[in-house]
């Protein structure tokens, strides 16, 4: 390749490899070599060989024209050296909306700094592409910037891939949301003497996008002979297979609940009925039997008692109308591992204005940025922070659920989270 003197503004180089030798040896004391003694010809050969577009502008000439472009520049843009040399490289943006990119480029040039600016460019055939422009100054022996080297990288393929990924994620999120709606009731029935609130927060990634569909499930079902079953569950894993297992679990519980007289009976019969339907997964369930007649007979516990039974599920929290929150229930065998499970009915006195908070482990296992879980202590603290006036009256169950979600958000710092579900049942203050 032959080195030539700088091209005048507006001129075109006949030599397809024209280059201003000074652009490469601006810091050299001896013509024909760089500051460290490397032959200029070798440096030019390196520029000619790279597969990224490189161009050099002379900052000493009016309008800072291009004085060198390598073969990759022509391949990337379609402009030959004859098209490009002697022109300011802004011709690549003619007619395009480039936002504030020119301002940022001018700042770099004015301050003699290196930097990267991304902006749209147009090829010779008019096709627009996204260009990542890396700018680096060349200085003479006195430290004065004489030229700028621009290395261009076409981000079009990356941009299209990211766009396709975003579309796929949106479609997956929509599918997950639609699928999630099939796993839980669209609304809970009204229960005389009780109010309810449900909150569901899907798993989120570090970038804030939604994760796959969860295995969380909940419902409120009539008990045979009177009263209600409030239950919440969680199937291990995420995605379509977990969703299928969750659907099986929900409908199994609904079927068993039509005949099961006690929460423990419901769990034992569910464990036997679900059999291999979990497909190697396991599930946890918490069932709260709200007061009422049972098979024509009253429950052998105080009328205000809620009977809690757990199959591997986190213990619910009793939030009194006035007083400290406390964990209730007795741990039992989770579902899907053993066909025979051991569970326990535990009467829990729930007086007027008291609330029972059922939740999945996404609450207590919520992780902070320094890898600390919220834990049961954090959950209890969040509930204890609710003043007595907030715990009773219209909307009390919703306020309680929102307080738990706020505690999770504060603990995780809005970072990635696992899916979590809350089901709060509150007894009317009038009893």
Domain with residue 92: its CATH number is: 3.30.450.20
- Is this structure's pTM higher than 0.85? no
Q: Are 32 and 148 found together in one domain? A: yes
2 in a structural domain: no
Comparing 179 with 65, the larger pLDDT belongs to: 65
Chain segment 66-106, per-residue pLDDT in tens: 999 999 999 999 999 999 999 999 999 998 999 999 999 99
Phi, psi (rounded to 5 degrees) for 22: -65, -25
Domain closes at, from 123, 158, 193: 158
Residue with tokens 């295995």: 215
pLDDT at 178: 65
Q: Do 112 and 187 sit in the same domain of this protein?
A: no
Residues 200 and 305 in one domain: yes
> Would you state the pLDDT for residue 358?
97
Q: Is residue 132 part of a domain?
A: yes
Asked if residue 163 belongs to a domain, the reply is no
For residue 360 the two structure tokens come to 């999945």
Residues 306 and 386 reside in one and the same domain: yes
Q: Does 125 share its domain with 250?
A: no
| Cα(216)–Cα(246) distance, integer angstroms | 7
Within a domain: residue 6? no
Note whether 141 and 183 are same-domain residues.
no
For residue 204, give the DSSP letter.
Answer: B
Q: How many domains does the chain have?
A: 2
Answer whether 18's CB lies under 8 Å from 81's CB: yes
Same domain, 298 and 356: yes
Q: Which of 108, 97, 47, 38 is nearest to 74 (CA)?
A: 47
User: Residue 264: inside a domain, yes or no?
Assistant: yes
Rounded CA gap, 332 and 311, in Å? 5
Domain identity same for 350 and 271: yes
* Within a domain: 59: yes
Looking at the fold, whether 117 and 185 belong to one and the same domain comes out as: no
**What beta strand segments (E) does 260-381 contain?**
283-290, 293-294, 297-298, 305-311, 317-319, 326-327, 346-349, 355-359
User: Are 300 and 258 found together in one domain?
Assistant: yes
Beta strands in 126-172 (DSSP E): 128-139, 145-154
Q: Is the pLDDT confidence value at 251 over 90?
A: no
Chain length of the chain: 431
Residues 148 and 186 in one domain: no
Residue 20 confidence class, pLDDT cut points 50, 70, 90: very low
What is the residue range of 403's domain?
179-427
pLDDT value at position 36?
56
* Residue 1 forms part of a structural domain: no
Note the pLDDT tens digit of each residue in 182-210.
Answer: 667 778 898 888 999 999 887 766 655 55
Domain boundary among 124, 158, 192: 158
Give domain status of residue 244, yes or no.
Answer: yes
Burial of 285 (0-12, 13-18, 19+ CB in 10 A): buried
- Helices 396-412/375-384 angle, 10° precision: 130
Task: Tell whether 152 and 188 lie within a shared domain.
Answer: no
For residue 213, the model assigns a pLDDT of 62
Q: Given 158, 191, 214, which residue is the final one in a domain?
A: 158
CATH number where 369 lies: 3.60.40.10
- What does the pLDDT look like over 267-300, one tens digit per residue? 999 988 886 677 678 889 999 999 864 443 444 4
């Amino acid at each position: 390749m032959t080195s030539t003197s700088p091209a005048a503004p507006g001129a075109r180089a006949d030599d397809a490899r024209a280059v201003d030798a000074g652009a490469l040896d601006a810091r050299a004391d001896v013509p024909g070599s760089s500051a460290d003694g490397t032959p200029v010809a070798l440096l030019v050969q390196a520029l000619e060989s790279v597969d990224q577009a490189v161009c050099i502008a002379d900052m000493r000439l009016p309008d800072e024209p291009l004085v060198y472009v390598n073969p990759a520049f022509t391949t990337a843009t379609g402009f030959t050296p004859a098209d490009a040399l002697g022109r300011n490289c802004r011709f690549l943006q003619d007619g395009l909306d480039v936002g504030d990119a020119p301002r940022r480029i001018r700042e770099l040039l004015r301050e003699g700094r290196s930097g990267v600016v991304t902006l749209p460019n147009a090829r010779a055939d008019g096709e627009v592409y996204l260009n990542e422009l890396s700018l680096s100054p060349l200085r003479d022996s006195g430290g004065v910037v004489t030229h700028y080297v621009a290395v261009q990288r076409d981000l079009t393929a990356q941009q299209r891939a990211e766009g396709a990924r975003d579309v796929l994620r949106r479609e997956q999120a929509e599918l997950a949301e639609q699928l999630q709606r099939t796993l839980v009731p669209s609304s809970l029935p009204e229960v005389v003497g009780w109010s309810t609130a449900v909150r569901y927060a899907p798993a989120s990634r570090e970038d804030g996008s939604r994760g796959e569909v969860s295995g969380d499930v909940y419902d409120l079902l009539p008990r045979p002979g009177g009263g209600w079953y409030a239950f919440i569950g969680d199937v291990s894993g995420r995605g379509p297979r977990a969703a299928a297992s969750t659907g099986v679990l929900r409908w199994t519980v609904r079927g068993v609940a039509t005949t099961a007289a006690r929460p423990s009976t419901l769990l034992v019969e569910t464990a036997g009925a679900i059999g291999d339907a979990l497909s190697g997964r396991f599930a946890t369930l918490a069932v709260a039997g709200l007061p009422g007649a049972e098979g024509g007979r009253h429950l052998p516990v105080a009328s205000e008692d809620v009977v809690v039974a757990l199959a591997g599920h986190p213990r619910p929290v009793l939030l009194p109308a006035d007083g400290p929150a406390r964990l209730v229930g007795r741990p039992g065998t989770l579902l899907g591992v053993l066909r025979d499970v051991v569970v326990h009915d535990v009467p829990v006195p729930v007086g007027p204005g008291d609330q029972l908070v059922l939740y999945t482990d996404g609450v207590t296992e919520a992780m902070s940025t320094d890898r600390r879980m919220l834990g049961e202590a954090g959950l209890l603290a969040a509930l204890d922070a609710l003043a007595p006036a907030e715990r009773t009256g219209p909307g009390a169950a919703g306020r309680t659920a929102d307080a738990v979600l706020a505690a999770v958000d504060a603990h995780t710092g809005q970072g990635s989270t696992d899916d979590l579900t809350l089901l709060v049942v509150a007894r009317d203050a009038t009893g």
